[in-house]
């Protein structure tokens, strides 16, 4: 059973997992043409009923308030979804919970980070995600926490796809400014979905980091996207994070070291170049 299954990662996970597993997708709303059950993780009673009726072997929790600036503006709601929601899951389900967390649990002063590095979130989003990790570690005997970096795919139905924003802006000849001082290892949603499946198959537990192989600035990532889609790179100009005056602080030198899971699963994180090639091929 997947919560928040109709978001960015949920669609990739559906493609990967539905081949070999009976997947029950749940969400706040069920988009037209999709199958699933309504489940709001904020609503403990209803969530309990859904879990009882589905009786899953594993719950994969993707549901979260993911807009970092909205979390800063509405911290109470962020806590209700990102922390209390996970508490409701733990209270309703005794089996294995796979939970997706984030590199925003770090302050971004000296990334990329490994699982043993000191956490120190600098935003409400990061604080709530860290609290949800701690809750799982205390309340669930069988859990896997996978921390991810900025996820991307070419999908127009999610609210915030960086890839779509870059491609659509440049196609429409619009100039864009992209931060040159935020570094991490951007990760294709399909790559994250593949790792989730491999972790299920190998029953990996505890806390792991996953991210693709290239550690770059968001500005350089935008340039790579433009070049790969044969779009006009001169429309992209660099900007500093502080010039954006966003509601929430961002970890600047962030990103995730993946050595632990690479060793456990014997996998190689893909390059951005290979992922963008695969995305373009899939969309033809
Ligand atoms: N995107 C990234 O770059 C990134 C990086 C690291 C970790 N993560 C983590 O990965 C997970 C999946 O993220 P994503 O990129 O797929 O984000 P997303 O597209 O925003 O998906 C999250 C989903 O959760 C749903 N949701 C929100 N509140 C809910 C509630 N109370 N009950 C049930 N569902 C609820 C959202 O529905 P609505 O859209 O209708 O609100 C959305 O479908 C999240 O836990 C996120 O923290 C994401």
Is 232 contained in some domain? Answer: no
Tally of structural domains, the chain: 1
Q: What are the CB-based long-range contacts (under 8 Å, 24+) for 258-261? A: 258/208, 258/209, 258/210, 258/211, 259/114, 260/114, 260/115, 260/208, 260/209, 261/195, 261/199, 261/204, 261/208, 261/209, 261/210
Burial status of residue 155 (CB atoms within 10 A of its CB: 0-12, 13-18, 19 or more): middle
CA–CA separation, 76 and 82 (whole Å):
10
CA–CA separation, 71 and 160 (whole Å):
15
Ligand 1 centroid, distance to 152 Cα (angstroms): 13
Q: What is the CATH number of the domain that holds 92?
A: 3.40.50.720
> Comparing C-alpha atoms, which of 119, 163, 108, 183 is closest to residue 145?
119
Per-residue model confidence as pLDDT tens digits over 56-76: 999 999 999 999 999 999 999
Report the mean per-residue pLDDT for the chain.
Answer: 96
Per-residue model confidence as pLDDT tens digits over 191-231: 999 999 999 999 999 999 999 999 999 999 999 999 999 99
> Is any atom of ligand 1 closer than 6 Å to the C-beta of 193?
no
CA–CA separation, 130 and 106 (whole Å):
9
What's the mean pLDDT in 119-137?
98
Per-residue model confidence as pLDDT tens digits over 75-113: 999 999 999 999 999 999 999 999 999 999 999 999 999
Is 64 contained in some domain? Answer: yes
Is 168 contained in some domain? Answer: no
The 8-class DSSP code of residue 231 comes to -
CA–CA separation, 257 and 185 (whole Å):
9
> Is any atom of ligand 1 closer than 6 Å to the C-beta of 62?
yes
Ligand 1 centroid, distance to 67 Cα (angstroms): 9
CA–CA separation, 62 and 217 (whole Å):
26
> Comparing C-alpha atoms, which of 30, 38, 41 is closest to residue 7?
30
Is 176 contained in some domain? Answer: no
The pTM is what? Answer: 0.97
Q: At which residue do the structure tokens 């100039």 appear?
A: 175
Is 237 contained in some domain? Answer: no
Q: In what order do the strands lie in the sheet with 96-102?
A: 2-3, 58-61, 96-102, 143-148, 206-210
> Is any atom of ligand 1 closer than 6 Å to the C-beta of 85?
yes
Dihedral sign, Cα of residue 63, residue 191, residue 134, residue 248: negative
| More confidently predicted of 154 and 248 | 248
CA–CA separation, 193 and 75 (whole Å):
29
Is 50 contained in some domain? Answer: yes
Secondary structure of residue 34 in the 3-state scheme? coil
What's the mean pLDDT in 176-205?
97
> Comparing C-alpha atoms, which of 163, 195, 198, 179 is closest to residue 251?
179
Per-residue model confidence as pLDDT tens digits over 139-175: 988 999 999 999 999 886 666 689 999 999 999 999 9
Q: Which numbered atom of ligand 1 lies nearest the CA of 152?
A: 3
Is 117 contained in some domain? Answer: yes
pLDDT for residue 284 is more than 70: yes
Are residues 192 and 148 in contact, defined by beta-carbon separation less than 8 angstroms?
yes
> Is any atom of ligand 1 closer than 6 Å to the C-beta of 255?
no
> Is any atom of ligand 1 closer than 6 Å to the C-beta of 148?
yes
> Is any atom of ligand 1 closer than 6 Å to the C-beta of 210?
no
Listed in sequence order, the residues at least 6 apart from 22 whose beta carbon sits closer than 8 Å to its beta carbon are none
Q: Nearest 5 degrees, angle CA 106-CA 65-CA 159?
A: 105
Dihedral sign, Cα of residue 89, residue 158, residue 192, residue 162: negative
**Domain range for 24:** 2-155+185-213+255-270
Question: Residue with the nearest Cα to atom 19 of ligand 1?
Answer: 7
Is 109 contained in some domain? Answer: yes
Ligand 1 centroid, distance to 66 Cα (angstroms): 5
């Amino acid at each position: 059973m997947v919560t928040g299954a109709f978001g960015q990662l949920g669609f990739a996970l559906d493609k990967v997992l539905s081949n070999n597993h009976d997947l029950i997708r749940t969400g706040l709303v069920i988009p037209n043409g999709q199958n699933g059950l309504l489940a709001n993780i904020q609503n403990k009673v209803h969530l309990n009923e859904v879990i009882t009726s589905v009786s899953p072997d594993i719950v994969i929790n993707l549901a979260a308030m993911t807009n970092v600036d909205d979390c800063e503006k509405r911290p109470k709601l962020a806590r209700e979804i990102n922390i209390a929601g996970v508490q409701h899951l733990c209270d309703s389900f005794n089996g294995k919970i796979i939970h997706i967390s984030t590199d925003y649990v770090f302050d971004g002063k000296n990334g990329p980070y490994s699982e043993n590095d000191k956490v120190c979130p600098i935003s409400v989003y990061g604080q709530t995600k860290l609290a949800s990790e701690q809750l799982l570690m205390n309340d669930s005997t069988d859990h896997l926490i996978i921390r991810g970096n900025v996820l991307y795919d070419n999908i127009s139905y999610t609210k915030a796809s960086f890839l779509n924003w870059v491609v659509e802006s440049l196609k429409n000849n619009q100039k864009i400014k992209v931060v040159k001082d935020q570094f991490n290892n951007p990760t294709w949603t399909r790559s994250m979905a593949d790792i989730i499946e491999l972790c299920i198959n190998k029953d990996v537990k505890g806390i792991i980091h996953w991210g693709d192989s290239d550690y770059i600035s968001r500005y350089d990532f935008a340039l790579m996207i433009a070049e790969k889609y044969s779009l006009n790179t001169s429309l992209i100009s660099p900007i500093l994070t502080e010039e954006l005056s966003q509601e929430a602080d961002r970890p600047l030198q962030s990103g995730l070291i993946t050595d632990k899971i690479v060793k456990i699963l014997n996998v190689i994180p893909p390059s951005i170049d290979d992922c963008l090639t695969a995305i373009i091929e899939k969309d033809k």
